[in-house]
Amino acid sequence: MGSPVSGDRVRFTATTPEGAVTHEGILLAPSARDHVTVKLDNGYNVTFAESTISEISTISAATLPEESLNASPSEDPKLPEIWILHTGGTIASKVDYVTGAVAARFEPEELLDAIPELANHARIRTRKLGNMWSDDIRARHWNAMMMATKEAFDSGAVGVVITHGTDTMHYSAAAAAFAWAGGGKRPPGRIVFTGSQRSSDRGSTDGTENLLAAVHWAAHGPAPTGENGDASVIIMHAGSNDGVCAIMPGCSTRKFHSSKRNAFQGINAQPLGTISVGRGGQCQIEMDVKQPTRDIATEPIAFDEGKRILQLVAGAHMFADQIELASNYDAILFHGTGLGHLPIEDPNGDSPENAAMRDAVTEYCAKGGVAVMVTQCIHGPIHMDVYSKGRDQQELGITGNQATTGPDAALVKLHFLLSTGQDVQSGWGANLCGENASSIFN
């Protein structure tokens, strides 16, 4: 064979400080100039400078992946119908062996071909909403997801699975909760978000079990109450090992780790339950079931895509001119320190920036500006009654005292209140869909 090209399976030997090493894998486009990059069988990439490679040989030539010729698994007419709405993300990613990049390019139908056990849980319909990395998602995409869930429910589906990139999945899940339950009702069926921390080419991928558990929940979970955080849920690995996925409230959950399989944890809330995933894709839900009392909503409440919220983080680099930017926004969401504080005092007389901050906040609120406080601590309530500074902030007009809503869901809730024209101060104290529970668990 000639010189190896991207996509070939190769064996090479490289010199390292610990001695010579030999690897086999798929040759990728190099990650840097004058380097060699190979994807190993375990899914990880290794890169060596060309100058360290003493030998490289082609084991087999590159071959294009064959399209699946298998027929879709036959449907069981007795099973409930669910829809899988595909937005993108790692759960729908493949490695491109020419470029070496992991790209979101699964069609939804390919999920059925890859995981035929899904057909044992439900009659599955698929809809592709996009192939987006989740950091590109905005309110218009929340609305598109929710209108697709309405279409699914109107067509007879009992549940919907939304496959989503994990980085902002908790924002979209919160948006679903407020859209369907923020008005005091509950969704017509189950809505579950799921994703994958590890791409499908890696042996440690978590996508298969996450999707199996999500489909099972959508098809066989209890009816959502709309008031205890179950209007939408996030289902992901409960721990680093396989076998158990956690059912987490969509309005009280955040991604806490960039790469762990159990990256998602509740904020001031416990998981609603777990789903055990056994061999052959069998699933079992374990949770306390509550009976719904709310009426069923016929359609979701849309977010006003024109609303703009300025997020500011309290600390040594917060300045008054940042508040001046708020004239271009509909509200400010302050990420305060501790119980919810801003740098607005100058007890030593050496920090005029703090006094200027106080003046800027005072002027902003006096002109009717909407200012809401959440905590950088993630867990725990806002409590601006404890210290004098907090009481002063309330007098200035900052809202948020005693709320237990996490900072991510708070952003979505504020957007929801602005979209529906509600008074933010009174709406903030309400518990619309489980986001502002009176008892906290973290």
Active site residues: 90, 166-167, 255
384: which 2 tokens? 């601006």
Contact between residue 175 and residue 146 where contact means Cβ atoms under 8 Å apart: yes
Alpha-carbon span 5 to 28, nearest angstrom: 8
187: which 2 tokens? 């969704």
| Of 237, 231, 229, 218, residue with least CA distance to 276 | 237
Contact between residue 232 and residue 186 where contact means Cβ atoms under 8 Å apart: no
Beta-bridged to residue 191, according to DSSP, are 160
Q: What is the DSSP string of 97-146?
A: TTT--EEE---HHHHHHH-GGGGGT-EEEEEE-----GGG--HHHHHHHH
In 10 A of CB 404, how many CB atoms? 22
Alpha-carbon span 236 to 164, nearest angstrom: 11
**Helix intervals (H) in 243-342:** 320-324
How far from 55 is each of 45, 51, 84, 341, CA to CA, in Å? Answer: 18, 11, 47, 61
Residue 160, C-beta contacts closer than 8 angstroms, at least 6 positions apart = 82, 83, 84, 85, 148, 149, 152, 153, 189, 190, 191, 192, 218
Residue 105, C-beta contacts closer than 8 angstroms, at least 6 positions apart = 92, 93, 94, 131
